[in-house]
Amino acid sequence: MIAWQDTVKTALLGTKRAEMPTQADEQPLGQFLAQLPMEEEAATLLAAAGTTALHRQTGWQPRQAAPPAPAPSPPDMPVCPPVVARQIEQMLLGPQTSLLPEMLDALAQTGHRLPDHLLPNLLEKGNKMGRIRPSILQVIGNRGRWLAQQNPSWQYASPEIDHWIGLLKAWETAVPPKRQALLRQIRTTHPERGRQILEHTWKSHNGMVRHQIIKILDINLSQADEPFLEAALDDRNHLVRRAAADLLAKLPEARLSQRMEQHVDGILSWAGWPSKITVRLPKQILPAMLRDGVPDIKEEDRVKLRSRLLTQIINRVPLAHWQAQWQKTPQEIVKAAKRSAWPRTLMSAFSTAAIRQKNSAWAEALIVVNEFNSFTGRLVPILTPSQCLALMQKAAKQSRQLKRPHPLHIFLQHWQQALSVPMGEFWLELFAEHLRKEKKQAPDPTVNNLFRRFGQKCAPELADTAVAKLTNISGLSSTWQKTVNHLCQTLQLRRDLLAEINKLGSTQDQPPEGFWR
């Protein structure tokens, strides 16, 4: 019979450079191949190869897979009404995907799940968008978790990861990006279990991977993470050490914060009238300071990089330390810093410290003293809603412009929480005023984006108010009309769907029993 290896060899070298394989054989296959015409050697070789390949597969049996576990019956959670399911399906498949977490969380509060036909698309969405996984897990029920068990791409929702062995298996078989998404999910739903899986597998990762995954501990960071992060300060990779120090700086009660209070002794002083802060840089960077994240700057470069050095020292100190040491309010300290010889450096350091420590009082002081400039935009997310509204109203007295870099643009661009009714009414007035002034002009792309984001964050009960204030302005350009319609339709969609969901009532306040074992 024709040898398969000879056929492959002839095909690779070509019929002009290699002999045609022998076809004489008493077996049926050989007898069939011997009848092939030899006038066209290339065609004969292809026919022989195809016939031989088909013969080699004769009698082949596929691998036998174990049958899946039976689907749970009856379902553990009631299915939501069709009207709710249809709206969520449109969000799932259409352009309103960004609204999914809000709706899924609201549905979860009622103790209902999505119908079976939506589960595959929903699980696949979670495979691609790790940030919405915690919301998905609440509304798929046991039926969805059983379905996730059948597809490796959906293992993030499999009941196997509820147990340590299953979670460890999923972790070890996942590629690095999937592993990071899994850790974000676990840290969101069960922070301690997330840290435990990281501790258990820590030494198996290279330095770059350790640097990426340790930063995920920022999700639900707490004092319970301090021992692990403290140990990471001695990691052999300098990026890991720096990331661990940055995380510990967010914990005012951590040992690093206490050590930083000692490291800064004598560096900043309160002096003069009007009051200002004087700076005296350390003459040497001690090993203990290096371990706590202060950069290792060579002595000859210290003059050139002293601003960076000062920033890295100050931004790791608990802000309460300065208030206690000088007996001053945050606003008094920020004003004194602005009068120092290092105003930009100190502002940057105090801002980073305020963000890390989520200190809204310091954030407000830094925004006000710096007169609402773009430098302080990153502080907006840590303000309380009442602080943010008061500061927006104050900024509006100076300028009601919505274009960049005006203060109002900065506020709405950086605010990440939902907008309360008072905040929503404030912005609708500004939007209406802006439309009347700019109705003939093409929308500025950044302002247009503010309108769209507003529809996703504004209190949905203001949907009718938005329609009344924004759609009755005559003479709007077609582009502005499209933007306004999108804003109003988004608010109406959110209002109507949340109203339907709220009708279901709350029947479940806790996650299903046994969700974490």
pLDDT-flagged residues of the chain (< 70): 1-3, 22-26, 39, 59-69, 73-75, 298-304, 506-517
Q: In this predicted model, what pLDDT tens digit does every residue of 491-506 receive, in sequence order? A: 999 999 999 999 987 5
The whole-number pLDDT of residue 3 equals 64
Question: What kind and span of H or E run contains 93?
Answer: helix 82-93
Q: Which residue has the tokens 């196997």?
A: 160
* CA distances from residue 105 to 109, 112, 188, 220, 253 in whole angstroms, order as listed: 6, 11, 14, 18, 33
Q: Where are the beta strands (DSSP E) in 120-208?
A: none
**Which amino acid belongs to residue 250?**
K
pLDDT at 515: 38
pLDDT at 301: 64
CA–CA separation, 161 and 205 (whole Å):
21
User: Phi and psi dihedrals of 349, rounded to 5?
Assistant: -65, -45
- pLDDT for residue 304: 66
Phi, psi of 277 (to 5 degrees): -105, 125
- In contact, 504 and 80? CB cutoff 8 Å: yes
For residue 361, what are its two tokens?
């009082």
CA distances from 235 to 251, 287, 313 (A): 20, 14, 20
pTM comes to 0.79
Residues in the chain: 517
Contact (Cβ atoms closer than 8 angstroms) between residue 38 and residue 7: no
Chain centre distance of CA 190: 17
C-alpha 396: how far from its chain's center?
A: 32
Alpha helices in 215-342 (DSSP H): 226-232, 238-248, 255-263, 287-291, 306-314, 319-326, 330-338
* pLDDT for res 40: 77
